[in-house]
Amino acid sequence: MSSDKLKEIKQGKENWLEKRSQMKDRDFKFETVSGLPVNDIYTPEDIKDLDYMKDLGFPGQYPYTRGVQSNMYRGRLWTMRQFAGFGTARESNERFKFLLNRGQTGLSVAFDMPTIMGYDSDHPRSLGEVGRVGVAIDSLADMETLFDGIPLEQVSTSMTTNAPASILWCMYIATGEKQGVASEKLRGTIQNDILKEYIAQKSWIFPPKPSMRLITDIFKYAKQYVPKWNSVSISGYHIREAGSTAVQELAFTLADGFAYVEAGMEVGLDVDDFAPRLSFFFNSHNDFFEEIAKYRAARRIWARRMKEKYGAKDPKSLLCRFHTQTAGCSLTAQQPENNIVRTAFQALAAVLGGTQSLHTNSMDEVLALPTEKSVQIALRTQQLIAYETGAANVMDPLAGSYYIESLTDKMEAEAEKYFEEIERRGGVLASIDQNYFQQEIADAAYRFQKDVDKKEKIVVGVNEFVDEDEELDIELLKIDPELEQAQVDHLKELRSKRDNNRVNDTLDALKKAASGPDNLIPYILDCVRAYTTQGEIIDTMREVFGEYKEKPTF
């Protein structure tokens, strides 16, 4: 390596050290089990053969390949979340408190299918689904119960909701008001990623145009009143769960992100008004090194595109901050204890890839919602990585690896090919309308299954190392079917006691606003404060916006 290049690297390190010196480390001894000291970062100066090394830069420096913070986990560990919610708000509140008491550092709410699809619990389509795969939330009363005894100014909450995100977010804001917590102090994330619903998960309500309007309305409202909130969690997780490859997950997720940036700018927002509060949600699958390279490539692509194409000036707009969840689709009903090991590898990949937040799946989630025992094991998995493996002691420890760097470059190049194809087709919305994403994912899922069927890909316990005499010997969580009727009765009582004249007035105002250009969030908030139900609010907007119908693939 030339002397000029060495000087450049040393100068870069000096600049980094100056910024690094201003950041406080956790009160923790950073060393190996043998007592050997661990540097907080390794650079080309630590490598004997420098000729092959690229100038990778440093954590917290553009283009952020090595991480979004200068001290990464030395300053603060990732937020440990467990996706939780089942039955009624009261049962889910108890699970939240169980997890918080065992060291979880952030909440993540799972809603049931009626809530996700915008139906109240007493709707005919909700029959048999209330509280089954998440918590049933019909009104502000349920949200108040869900967070009863949990001070919202002290906890960060993620809510996995998309089509009805604006309503559930307003319920959370109103719950904060009831607790005396100003919206300016609320921290958390709403997924609010409707594009990936059209692409992969399929839980949409409204057509794309009004759906995007709701999202940009949230951008505007959050900037002014809820500045610490992540207004979209751009999700590749469900794209991967639908069967995509890692490259497709990377490319399609970032393409969705670019579409949200363009939508915000089209309604008159400066990119730096909302981009700092955009976050991402990635999957962590089984191919250990590919997953790590995916996260590194995502940071680099996002930073460059935000700076060079969209003209972002705020450094925070360039940061690809992301939550990770281990791969639910990789879990197997056969030999379910193996899922503990799968999850541990996937979680470690997310940490080595620099995630800001992590959910670890429980071993029994392929069979049912997790029991307290299995969810505690999943949480302990994160704590073991954090405190026993040494993985959190050094930033981007795999930087400079021949394999990691070449794989990161290759994933970036393959993603760029997808960006070009999406642009050629007219952008993300046009590509959705053409079923381009849907077909690409379906083809990838088909190829993977063929490989499994031919044993060209081995799934332990499924197509190899099979236990023919296996008997399921784990306790499963069962949802009491009587909870559904209790939720319906609670909803009936709410409707009889609230001020229904006020409810009707707020719905009329919302309908009028939806027909015009006003920001809808204040109107939805008024509905929520009157204990109008989610289904009533959705039905009112559906009258104006209509419903989305997907075109057939074939």
Instruction: Output the pLDDT for position 1.
Output: 62
Question: What confidence tens digit (pLDDT) does each residue in 474-523 have?
Answer: 888 888 889 999 999 999 999 999 999 999 999 999 999 999 999 999 99
Q: What average pLDDT does range 219-224 have in this prediction?
A: 97
Percent composition of the chain: helix, strand, coil (DSSP 3-state, to 5) = 50, 10, 40
Instruction: Output the pLDDT for position 226.
Output: 98
CA pair distance 218, 196, nearest whole angstrom: 18
Strand 232-235 to strand 229-230: parallel, antiparallel, or no bridges (unpaired)?
Answer: unpaired
Q: What average pLDDT does range 24-32 have in this prediction?
A: 81
Instruction: Output the pLDDT for position 551.
Output: 82
Percent of the chain with pLDDT over 70: 96
Is it the case that residue 43 has pLDDT exceeding 80? no
Question: What confidence tens digit (pLDDT) does each residue in 253-271 have?
Answer: 999 999 999 999 999 999 9
Is it the case that residue 33 has pLDDT exceeding 70? no
Instruction: Output the pLDDT for position 263.
Output: 97
Instruction: Output the pLDDT for position 16.
Output: 85
Residues ≥6 apart with Cβ < 8 Å to 299: 63, 64, 65, 67, 68, 319, 320, 354
CA pair distance 317, 272, nearest whole angstrom: 6
pLDDT band at 364 (very low <50, low <70, confident <90, very high): very high
Q: Other CB atoms closer than 10 Å to residue 312's CB: what's the count?
A: 20
Instruction: Output the pLDDT for position 431.
Output: 97
pLDDT band at 100 (very low <50, low <70, confident <90, very high): very high
Instruction: Output the pLDDT for position 274.
Output: 97
Q: What average pLDDT does range 12-30 have in this prediction?
A: 86
Instruction: Output the pLDDT for position 32.
Output: 67
Is it the case that residue 309 has pLDDT exceeding 60? yes
How does the average pLDDT of the chain come out, rounded? 93
Instruction: Output the pLDDT for position 27.
Output: 83
Residue 137 vs residue 16, higher pLDDT: 137
CA pair distance 469, 193, nearest whole angstrom: 44
Question: What confidence tens digit (pLDDT) does each residue in 85-96 have?
Answer: 899 999 999 999
Does an H or E element contain 471, and which?
none
Is it the case that residue 50 has pLDDT exceeding 60? no
Is it the case that residue 525 has pLDDT exceeding 90? yes
Is it the case that residue 554 has pLDDT exceeding 80? no
Q: What average pLDDT does range 421-432 have in this prediction?
A: 98
Query: DSSP code of 201?
Result: I
Pair 233, 280: CB distance under 8 Å: yes
Rounded to the nearest 10 degrees, the angle between the axes of helix 246-266 and helix 402-424 is 50
Is it the case that residue 40 has pLDDT exceeding 70? yes
CA pair distance 451, 33, nearest whole angstrom: 41
Q: HSE on the CB side for 513, CA within 13 Å?
A: 21
Is it the case that residue 459 has pLDDT exceeding 80? yes
Is it the case that residue 401 has pLDDT exceeding 90? no
pLDDT band at 45 (very low <50, low <70, confident <90, very high): low
Question: What confidence tens digit (pLDDT) does each residue in 161-182 have?
Answer: 999 999 999 999 999 999 999 9
